[in-house]
Chains A and B, each alone.
Chain A
Amino acid sequence: MGKSVLSQINASILINAIYAMQGYPAMLISNLLSPISIIIIVTFASHGSLLGEAVSGGLITAFVGGGLSLQADLAHLKNDFKLQDMVVSSPTSAGVYLFGMAISELIFQIPSIITLLALAFFFVHATLFAAAEVFAVLVLLYAFSIVLGFFLSTVSSDILQSWAFIGILSILLTTIPPVYYPINYIPMPWRYIAYISPTTYAAGIVQVSLGYLPPSQSNIALDWAVLIALCIILFVIAVKKNRWRDV
């Protein structure tokens, strides 16, 4: 039988995006509302002055949210349907399965991303270079969140545990870090807590790039270095510790 990696990737996209959207369209609305709800709060609370920051924060949340959703989806498919066991014993490799699932989450996020990009088009005025830099940050964040989500899904034994992971990660990645507003809104010494999260560095790069934060408030080179280092460290841990084939 001729193996087709494209078919294997498409299988994940069909199961976790296309057929899931057909079955449960309410999930699309939920995905859409999650970043927009915080944009509304931040915009109203700042009398509109932080609208641009909030929209760029919404994009960060949407991309990080893909990984968080992936974690729960994979754990659900693994623990409740035993799909992963069937796939492990098939010619599909862990990498191909993960890549397909990552694309499926991106497809699920499309309505949310399109809405946020539309808001960005009207309210965020980015240069071509800034847009490219924001895009690079979002891709890196997405890769980070997908690897983190996959790793946690392989160690999660129940959907309740997955929900707990989502709660913890949401706070660590989108609540504590200054994603929807500049970091200088956080008073010292609380600002140091925000530096625990990789999204703080991502938001720093995005906000400087879009002109919401003066370059003096953030060391872009350091932010990139920390973000890339965290991604590499997490990737290495995930590759070494994930349990595709149980031990």
Chain B
Amino acid sequence: MPELICSNLTKTYGKGMKALDKVSFSIPALGIFALIGRTGAGKTTLTRILATELMPTSGAASINGIDVVNNAGRLRDMIAVLPQESRAVAWLTPRQTIITYLMYRGVGFSEAKKKADSALRKTDMDRFANTLNEKLSGGQKRKILVATVLASGAPIIFVDEPTTGLDPISRAELWEAFKMLKKDHFVFLTTHYLEEAERLADRVGILHEGKLMALGTLDEIRKLVKYQYSIRILGKKDGIKVKEGKKTLGEDGYLQIMTTEKEADALSRRFIKGKIRFSINPVSLEDIFYSIVKKPIREEEGNGKQEEW
């Protein structure tokens, strides 16, 4: 099975700033892997090392058995990269953007033209094929770059925060494009939009301050947290007793109770009876992320005892 392996990967920039700290993991190079983390977590550094753009300070990494550091030339035939904050070159059209990128990959002009037209059709961008990139919307420009890496035919694609700054509709359009890529590519995606990872990823890694905090499928990640359900109620509610679980009053004014399935069931019945409006869901990636990397504003642990709040 194709595999991405990182072993003690460390990157230290000037003045001793450690961007990656002995990151080790191994994942199947299939489907979409989403690396999530806050700004400055080290996501781009890890992506750039794996995409052969940046040398690590120490450690090793390989994709499908090909060493990222020592065999970059061979790997570059198999990868395509959509860097963070990349933009389609202003004075090119989408067709020219794809054609020239394919030519950099060694494809002849005529063949590149055919592939470009095919990629534009697949991403529903063919109607803009001859419009200057500078005249396209932000979402369309990003979509052109996705079409560009799609056209490359590279089986491994790195996309670094591709939807940052896009409106929800453009973002949803790009998600569709990624779902298309997922069918026959390995996509290494970094994002700080947890919803994006939740919707697209087969596997997720959580990176925080250069360290890998969690890794696995969404189900496996959910098991890392003690409580499997999340109940949300608007406002501070007095008198809600939780036998087993964690209560958090978030910045958004919602009271969140993370609890077991049994306790969630009991609380739901009580809320319905007491006509308290609430929502109940399995814990989201956002819940998990915050429980791993961020201390909530206020939190209390049930510890199996009844408590008043």
Which residues in B have some Cβ–Cβ distance to A below 8 Å? Answer: 48, 51-55, 72-73, 76-77, 79-92, 96, 99-101, 103-109, 112, 132, 153, 158
Contacts and interface: CB of A to CB of B under 8 A. Distances in A.
Given A24-B91, A247-B55, 15 more contacts: A1-B77, A1-B105, A10-B103, A11-B100, A19-B92, A23-B92, A82-B84, A82-B87, A85-B83, A88-B53, A89-B81, A91-B104, A97-B104, A245-B72, A246-B54
Nearest to A9: B103
B141 to A, nearest CB: 10
A224 B109 CA distance: 41
A86 B91 contact: no
B132 A89 contact: no
Contacts of B158: 89
A15 interface: yes
A236 to B, nearest CB: 21
A234 interface: no
Contact of B96 (A7, A14, A77): A14
Contacts of A15: 89, 92, 96, 100
B89 A89 contact: no
A7 B53 contact: no
Contacts of A24: 91
A92 B158 CA distance: 17
A88 B52 contact: yes
Interface string A84-113: 011111111000010000000000000000
Given A1-B153, A23-B132, A90 B104 contact: yes
B135 to A, nearest CB: 11
Nearest to A93: B73
Contacts of B100: 11, 14-15, 19
A245 B104 contact: no
Contacts of B112: 7
A224 B87 CA distance: 44
B88 A8 contact: no
B80 A90 contact: yes
8 contacts: A1-B105, A7-B103, A23-B90, A24-B91, A82-B86, A89-B51, A91-B76, A245-B52
Nearest to A244: B53
Contacts of B85: 82
A4 B107 contact: yes
A81 interface: yes
B157 to A, nearest CB: 10
Interface in A1-58: 1-5, 7-8, 10-11, 14-15, 19-20, 22-24
A90 B105 contact: yes
B54 A2 contact: no
A7 B104 CA distance: 7
A136 interface: no
Nearest to B92: A19
A83 interface: yes
Closest 7 CB pairs of A and B: A23-B91, A3-B106, A11-B103, A82-B86, A89-B81, A85-B83, A82-B83
Contact of B52 (A10, A81, A83, A89): A89
